[in-house]
Amino acid sequence: MSKRKNSDYKKPDKPYNQSGKPYRKQGSAKGKQKGGKPKGGSAVADPRQKAITAKVTCSGLTNEGKGLVTWEGKQLEVAYLIPGETAEVRVSKKGPYLNAELKRIINQSKDRVNPPCPYYYECGGCQLQHMSNQAQGRFKQNTIDAIMKPFGKPEVILTMDQPYDYRNKSQMTFGQNKDRQVIGGLYAPSTHQIIPMDRCLIHDPKADEIVQTIKGMMKSFKMKPYNEDTGHGFLRHILIKIGKVSGQIMVVLVAASPVFKGKNNFITALRKAHPEITTLLLNVNKRDTSMVLGNQEKVLFGKGTITDTLCGMTFEISAKSFYQINPVQTEKLYKKAIEMADLTGKETVVDAYCGIGTISLIASQKAGNVIGVEMNNDAVRDAIRNSKRNGVKNTRFYQGDAGEFMVQMAARGKKADVVLMDPPRSGSDETFLASVVKLQPKCVVYVSCNPVTQARDLKYLTKNGYTVEAIQPVDMFPQTYHVEAVTKLVLKEKTDNRKGRFRKSY
């Protein structure tokens, strides 16, 4: 990976909360010395507790990429520490727990690099920028290997050649600093305190450019940012979605009120500054909530949707549509999933958690017919539209619970050869997994964004007639600790004791 120049990135202003007061940093080490190295000096969580400086050696990493150290017989987690490094840490008591902050690195690992992002130690959105790309890959491989050990050895992780600028969806939050100037950025970890920033290195650069334009326009249009503490103000967030292949851009202004003063002039000025914007929407979120989008939505110009291409299929994307964030790695993930399904053109495939129909429609090119099931009615409508858009004739989409749907299929004597499942981070529940077992597909392809919950679900399936045949990890989110995995399970053969032979259970 070529080195990134930081000359275009401004050092962040001191973060402020919604009331304009600077906040006190707590928890893991933050701040930087020259070269982007972490330093100590963070405030102790409770000033009445005495902090102790200790010399420790990192022996490993947690699943979240934090260094593991032993101090006085206790195992502690230290952010930004790499295995093999010796360091000074500040140990303090935080309630019933011990908190360790990185103060100074004594012996530095060859895997350590200077994070290219000037906000890295403040933001928390990325956790691994202090590690080389090779070290990140090894960490993720080791993580998935350990989690999946009961089921076999995973394949080599599919990494990304250009591990920055990959997100096709980004959002920024707005507030004011102590001088009542408009600031835009991301929240500090586990807080609603805004870290002002001009650029996020995993966002699409065009998205951040548009955000900066809007931030500048807020002053000239006297548009006040929303204040969570008082409930006053207009603009809460900006959400941007970009079609990486189509180049189409959607901008969503998330506001606290539907009353948009100076709307027409604002739209004209924004379109003049960024004629590449395809559509602009106003989303109204009046609730006191951490959810970004509200229920009320109005198209200010354009169609209100954009399109993009994935694995040769074109998809329509709305503001609320779930669409994979990293399309480059998604193509690798989905191609591997379809490969694992061993489709010949005759199979019936059930796509549970089908969303807007991405993997359903991709699978339809090689399957006999595909049935997509999804709880979200808007997503089902999107899936049907996407099916028509691509001229696909062998797919059907249903709104409802996929588990109940499969139980009903089994009760009617219907069969499915393959079940594709891509649940949320929480994984599936036992009711859903029991419905898969009841339907008895010959093959289950399980896509997961959380290997821990996937391993839990695999344990259930392997106890109920299935065996894991292949596990393929994919690095969908470089610079973060997240790793996805697609796993193939097949229905085991059972022994027929009467004949002394093996028979397939399907």
Give pLDDT, residue 94.
Answer: 78
Residue 57, Cβ neighbours under 10 Å: how many? 16
Q: 442, 419 in Cβ contact below 8 A? A: no
Does 214 score more than 80 pLDDT? yes
In the sheet that 418-421 helps form, which strands lie side by side, from edge to edge? 395-399, 369-374, 348-352, 418-421, 443-448, 484-491, 466-474
Does 454 score more than 60 pLDDT? yes
Active-site annotation holds for 449: yes
Give pLDDT, residue 289.
Answer: 81
Q: Which range among 2-11, 41-50, 235-244, 372-381 shows the weakest confidence by mean pLDDT?
A: 2-11
Give pLDDT, residue 37.
Answer: 52
Give pLDDT, residue 15.
Answer: 40
- Please report the domains of the chain, with CATH numbers, ordered by start residue: 52-151 (2.40.50.140), 169-309 (2.40.50.1070), 326-504 (3.40.50.150)
Contacts of 272 (CB under 8 A, 6+ apart): none
Does 477 score more than 50 pLDDT? yes
Give pLDDT, residue 95.
Answer: 80
Give pLDDT, residue 189.
Answer: 87
Collapsing DSSP to helix, strand or coil, 237 comes out as strand
* The pairing of beta strand 369-374 with beta strand 348-352: parallel
Per-residue pLDDT reduced to its tens digit, 421-431: 999 999 999 99
Q: Which residue would you say has higher pLDDT here, 288 or 122?
A: 122
Residue 243, Cβ neighbours under 10 Å: how many? 21
Does 97 score more than 90 pLDDT? no
Residue 324, annotated as binding a ligand: yes
Query: CA 310, 314, 320 angle in degrees (round to 5)?
Result: 85
Per-residue pLDDT reduced to its tens digit, 6-28: 333 333 343 433 333 333 333 33
Mean pLDDT along residues 99-116: 96
Per cent of the chain over pLDDT 70 is 88
Residue 97, annotated as binding a ligand: no
Residue 374, annotated as binding a ligand: yes
Give pLDDT, residue 494.
Answer: 63
Provide the token pair at 275.
Answer: 């004629």
Give pLDDT, residue 31.
Answer: 38
**Helices 402-411 and 430-439, packing angle to 10 deg:** 30
Mean pLDDT along residues 162-189: 94
Q: Which residue would you say has higher pLDDT here, 407 or 289?
A: 407
From residue 310, give the alpha-carbon distance in Å to each of 202, 357, 384.
20, 11, 17
Residue 353, annotated as binding a ligand: yes
Mean pLDDT rounded to a whole number for the chain: 89
- One of 123, 126, 354, 449 is an active-site residue; which one? 449
Q: 447, 337 in Cβ contact below 8 A? A: yes
Mean pLDDT along residues 115-137: 96
Per cent of the chain over pLDDT 90 is 81
Mean pLDDT along residues 447-474: 97
Mean pLDDT along residues 116-138: 96
Does 317 score more than 50 pLDDT? yes
Residue 320, Cβ neighbours under 10 Å: how many? 15
Per-residue pLDDT reduced to its tens digit, 35-85: 345 644 333 344 445 789 999 999 999 999 999 999 999 999 999 999 999
